[in-house]
Amino acid sequence: MTLRESDTATLRLDTPTEGLRDCRVLAIGPAHASMRTWAERTLDTLAAAHGGAPLTLAFKGTVLLRPRVLHVPLRSASAVIATWRGECRFILGRTQAVRRELEGGRDLDAVAARLGNSGDVVHLELREDEATSEPLAPVGRLLLGDKARTLDILSELHGPWRISRPLIVRGQEWAVDRGGVLWRVRERFGIGRVVVRSSCSAEDAWAESNAGRFLSVLDVDAGDAEALGRAISDVFGSYGRGAESEKVFLQDYVHPVDESGVLMTRHPETLASYWVVASDRHSGRTDQITSGALENPSSAYVEHGVPKGLLPGSLRSVVTVGRELVKLTGVETLDLEFALAGSDFHLFQVRPITRRTGLPEGSEVRRARLLADACTAHQKLVPPRGPVVGEGPVYSTMTDWNPAEMIGRRPLPLARSLYGRLITDRTWAEQRAQYGYRDLRGVPLLRDFAGHAYVDVRASLNSFIPAVTPAHVAAVLVSSQLARLAEDPQLHDKVEFDIADTCASLGLRERLRRLYLPDVGEGELDALAVALRDITLNGLRGLPARLERVERLRADPLAPGFGGGPGPVLERLRELGTLPFAHLARTAFVVTALLKSFVREGVLDAGEQREVLQRIRTVAGQLQADALRVRRGELSLEALVAEFGHLRPGTYDLRTPRYAADPERYFGPLISGTEELARHEAPLSQRLQERIGAGLRDAGLELSSHEFLGHLGAAIAGREYGKHVFTRTLSAVLEHIAGWGAPLGLDRDDLAHLSLEQVEAAMALPAAEARHRCRDAIDEAREHAADINLIELPDVLVRTYHLLFHVSSDEQPLFVTKACVRAPVLVADGLPDAERVRGTIVLLERADPGYDGLLALGVAGIVTAYGGANSHMAVRCTELQLPAAIGVGREQLRRLASGRVMTLDCGGRRLVHE
């Protein structure tokens, strides 16, 4: 007899019993590994349903075994023989005789012929889509592609998951026989709650992903025919034309859930070997991740090699299912939707990830090696080495000199080595020591793990302890600060505000006591407060001397010339540029922090703080003012280019052209579009000044409010000016390098892959040899950069195993202004075209002064992934009162970039994409 209707038979799945051990799976000829796994699981399922009776299965090539189809005939028949296109593809035997026959046989067709004559054998004709002619195709080829069908088949198998068997409604059926469909639903679900989901052919195809384009309706009462009908019609409605040949399906509604989300078995962009889990642990709903409505999703990146034991509970079960499904389907790149409720793992969707570009050859091996080296390097750095004190190192991409914002998380060699030479190798520590903090000269601020630049937060925190504080006290302070950061990693871009106290502020004594008693004694804390006060006053006194140095650089930006390579110019740039700039930036921070403490302690409100800050005119504002003067004919374009032409988006990045390279493009819109800046010339009210004066007295600072406001303006303007001057020399150095490379046939992108040391060495060589050496180094660096792109590291690195897996929540961004704007999204990498910018919310990974051109172009708002409370863009947006969210984190930026329109609600601290 031939049986097919039993597709719809209900399979009762009992708990597996002991007898399973005796089941046997035999592959006749070559077979894909997933086929064997699938066969074993099918037998497990069937044997469990037959009270543990042993079964033998012999199969040929890839064929879809469906327990629900095999279950019924197996109750009475001794064997099931399945054929596809006239060829026997598998035989399933139950009785001893048949099983012996199968185990001896080499030729399935011959065995089938011998068995076929006995009466109790069932013949099964496989459907076209249940076997392939390629013997080594993975099972996924037969299983995946149609969401409802995939779930239907998977729900037949035992597995570490639960799948509510889908009830499929075809479009045609719905068009002609609504009553029948509703009756069927009622039969199946009774008065339960159901979810109506889309399964459109355009959605799950291998070639393109339209994930989330179609509607799903959650939580429908199966007993309410009207609501149910409306839900089904709505889902069909979302397909547009051709809905009649499509289908929808219904499942039990799982509610409430502890966690829901999406698992990618490979990195969705690079296909590197990571389990990538985006999940929602707060809403209790199942639709938040895919719809993008979520405020606080967490993302986990788990390297495939990580032992399960290291993973926290829910992540472990998600990865277990992912691993199982990859084995079962033979497809490496799957996209799963799931929910966890109690101890159950509910599987809602399995489909292949659509991106088809493969990994470069050998890259997985090189990636694993980079990771192993990074782990070793990290381990070595765990114990503190003098003069650094404190236990429990933390590394961050955004603390202190913020490499994520300035050179990017994965900087190329030239930018990385320039940043090191100018700031993070020596300058940073020299500045701190000169300022009165602990002397950390000899300790670099940045460490690289697998090509990712991190700030050594322990060293940074050490550098904010006054030099006069005894080392054993410093050790306690730093250890305690590191522990707080490890507990709340989101504070990593606000370390100097929320973790460490680095200068005098209002309420400092009380704050220190609250944080450090009883680990540090009261007397020691008071000594610390006094020392911080000294540092603050010292810093303010030092302002004119720093500015004087900057003026010397400005007067002669390229002395002593490039005759001996870029080294001497860079060294002078360091001494007269970045070192005084570091001082100015620190002083600007100190006065800002002091002002903020006035707000924190209720001396001023946030509006008054804004009022104070808006009165400060900086050189960045000067760009707009000068552009306006050009429009009015009061200034020549040449003069404007001479002053601001050195700006480039990505200050350390040779690849982006500077404004001077195309003045029309960069300055044109600025000149025509710029508007009169609002002026805040009225002096601050007497009463406000009096309150500031009182606050200063309370903070133990012998300063009048007039003096303080003078310092505040001078420090902030000085910082911007220092940046303006030093970046001009830096920009010229980059152009010099580009000019040197061009005749050698090395373009800007090539040169960006060389380190500064390599460039300097090559400059001393004859042209032919220089070219040869550079080419080799560039090829190596490119390969290295490609491997690094396959690695996902966290923004905050606390434990060594975070190099292999990490869970990150979204950053808490800094919102500027209280405005709420909804506008189209523009993703910018480099400075975008002026015509496209107006009225959009611009998304940037990071923003340095080179992006100032944007601000005058009528953007509706700015969102950046990186950049803390003290970053350039935060300062500029505050100055201009432009709505902005600074430092939303890279996951959130990725999500926002996937929408066309977004709402930036600064007052409500919300980001929503559509």
Residue 473: which of 534, 533, 400, 531 has the closest Cα? Answer: 531
> What minimum distance in Å lies between the beta carbon of 470 and other proteins?
3
Is there binding between residue 701 and other proteins (CB under 8 A)? no
Binding mask 469-508 for other proteins (x = CB under 8 A): xxxxxxx---------------------------------
Binding mask 275-294 for other proteins (x = CB under 8 A): --------------------
Among 368, 381, 467, 613, binds other proteins (CB under 8 A): 467
Q: Which range of residues in 288-296, 307-315, 354-362, 520-528 is near other proteins by CB under 8 A? A: 520-528
Is there binding between residue 523 and other proteins (CB under 8 A)? yes
Distances (CA, A) of 224 to 15, 217, 878: 35, 14, 54
> What minimum distance in Å lies between the beta carbon of 392 and other proteins?
17
Among 87, 498, 534, 707, binds other proteins (CB under 8 A): 534
* Alpha-carbon span 64 to 62, nearest angstrom: 7
Token reading at 880? 């201009």
Instruction: For other proteins, give the closer residue by CB, 475 or 827.
Output: 475
Is there binding between residue 530 and other proteins (CB under 8 A)? yes
Distances (CA, A) of 239 to 215, 228, 335: 8, 18, 22
Instruction: For other proteins, give the closer residue by CB, 282 or 514.
Output: 514
Binding mask 368-407 for other proteins (x = CB under 8 A): ------------------xx-x------------------
Residue 418: which of 760, 718, 165, 79 has the closest Cα? Answer: 760
> What minimum distance in Å lies between the beta carbon of 394 and other proteins?
20
Size of the site for other proteins (CB under 8 A): 26
> What minimum distance in Å lies between the beta carbon of 466 and other proteins?
8
* Alpha-carbon span 813 to 906, nearest angstrom: 10
Q: Provide φ and ψ at 231, rounded to 5°.
A: -60, -45
Instruction: For other proteins, give the closer residue by CB, 81 or 476.
Output: 476
Instruction: For other proteins, give the closer residue by CB, 235 or 474.
Output: 474
Residue 73: which of 153, 4, 156, 154 has the closest Cα? Answer: 4
> What minimum distance in Å lies between the beta carbon of 478 and other proteins?
11
Instruction: For other proteins, give the closer residue by CB, 702 or 835.
Output: 702
* Alpha-carbon span 255 to 609, nearest angstrom: 47
Q: Is 898 helix (H, G, I), strand (E, B) or coil?
A: coil
Q: Convert 189-227 into a string of H (helix), E (strand) and C (coil).
A: HCCCEEEEEEECHHHHCCCCCCCCCCCCEEEEECCCHHH
* Alpha-carbon span 462 to 469, nearest angstrom: 11
Q: Which range of residues in 231-239, 529-537, 540-548, 757-765 is near other proteins by CB under 8 A? A: 529-537
> What minimum distance in Å lies between the beta carbon of 442 and other proteins?
7
Instruction: For other proteins, give the closer residue by CB, 442 or 560.
Output: 442
DSSP letter string, 838-893: TTPEEEES---GGGHHHHTTT-SEEEESS--TTSHHHHHHHHHT--EEE---HHHH
Q: Which range of residues in 411-419, 526-534, 886-894, 897-905 is near other proteins by CB under 8 A? A: 526-534
Instruction: For other proteins, give the closer residue by CB, 529 or 798.
Output: 529
CA angle 580, 585, 587 (to 5 degrees): 95
Is there binding between residue 510 and other proteins (CB under 8 A)? no
Among 14, 187, 526, 914, binds other proteins (CB under 8 A): 526
> What minimum distance in Å lies between the beta carbon of 476 and other proteins?
11
822-861 positions binding other proteins, by CB under 8 A:
none
Among 102, 157, 499, 528, binds other proteins (CB under 8 A): 528
> What minimum distance in Å lies between the beta carbon of 389 and other proteins?
6
* Alpha-carbon span 568 to 581, nearest angstrom: 19
Contact 90, 60 (CB under 8 A): yes
> What minimum distance in Å lies between the beta carbon of 472 and other proteins?
4
647-686 positions binding other proteins, by CB under 8 A:
none
> What minimum distance in Å lies between the beta carbon of 428 and other proteins?
17
Token reading at 753? 């892959």
Instruction: For other proteins, give the closer residue by CB, 435 or 666.
Output: 435
Contact 746, 646 (CB under 8 A): no
Rounded to the nearest 10°, the torsion over CA 156, 161, 164, 168 is -60
Q: Which range of residues in 129-137, 149-157, 465-473, 684-692 is near other proteins by CB under 8 A? A: 465-473
> What minimum distance in Å lies between the beta carbon of 696 and other proteins?
21
> What minimum distance in Å lies between the beta carbon of 601 and other proteins?
23
Tokens 């100190």 — which residue? 590
Interhelix angle 543-555/705-741, rounded to 10 degrees, is: 30
Instruction: For other proteins, give the closer residue by CB, 237 or 442.
Output: 442
Among 305, 362, 521, 739, binds other proteins (CB under 8 A): 521
Instruction: For other proteins, give the closer residue by CB, 478 or 888.
Output: 478
Name 466's bridge partners.
437
Instruction: For other proteins, give the closer residue by CB, 247 or 533.
Output: 533
Count of CB atoms within 10 A of residue 309's CB? 6
Among 442, 602, 683, 907, binds other proteins (CB under 8 A): 442
Q: Provide φ and ψ at 839, rounded to 5°.
A: 80, 5
Is there binding between residue 527 and other proteins (CB under 8 A)? yes
For the chain, what is the total number of helices (H) and then of strands (E)?
36, 26
Q: Convert 79-116 into a string of H (helix), E (strand) and C (coil).
A: EEEEEECCEEEEEEECCHHHHHHHHHCCCHHHHHHHHH
CA angle 848, 889, 391 (to 5 degrees): 95
Is there binding between residue 444 and other proteins (CB under 8 A)? no
- Beginning with the edge strand found earlier in the chain, give each strand of the sheet holding 217-221 in spatial order: 167-170, 247-252, 193-199, 217-221
Question: Where is 602: in which H helix or E strand?
Answer: none
* Alpha-carbon span 121 to 127, nearest angstrom: 19
Instruction: For other proteins, give the closer residue by CB, 104 or 386.
Output: 386
> What minimum distance in Å lies between the beta carbon of 714 and other proteins?
26
Instruction: For other proteins, give the closer residue by CB, 360 or 521.
Output: 521
Q: Is 2 helix (H, G, I), strand (E, B) or coil?
A: strand
Contact 785, 411 (CB under 8 A): no
Show Cβ contacts of residue 640 under 8 Å, excluding neighbours closer than 6 positions.
626, 627, 630, 663, 667, 671
Instruction: For other proteins, give the closer residue by CB, 119 or 518.
Output: 518
> What minimum distance in Å lies between the beta carbon of 523 and other proteins?
2
Q: Which range of residues in 64-72, 81-89, 165-173, 515-523 is near other proteins by CB under 8 A? A: 515-523
Q: Provide φ and ψ at 727, rounded to 5°.
A: -70, -25
Instruction: For other proteins, give the closer residue by CB, 317 or 431.
Output: 431
Binding mask 421-440 for other proteins (x = CB under 8 A): ------------------x-
> What minimum distance in Å lies between the beta carbon of 522 and other proteins?
7
Q: Which range of residues in 167-175, 282-290, 464-472, 849-857 is near other proteins by CB under 8 A? A: 464-472
Interhelix angle 427-435/579-600, rounded to 10 degrees, is: 60
> What minimum distance in Å lies between the beta carbon of 473 and other proteins?
6
Instruction: For other proteins, give the closer residue by CB, 344 or 439.
Output: 439
Q: List residues binding other proteins (CB under 8 A).
A: 386-387, 389, 439, 441-442, 466-475, 521-524, 526-528, 530-531, 534
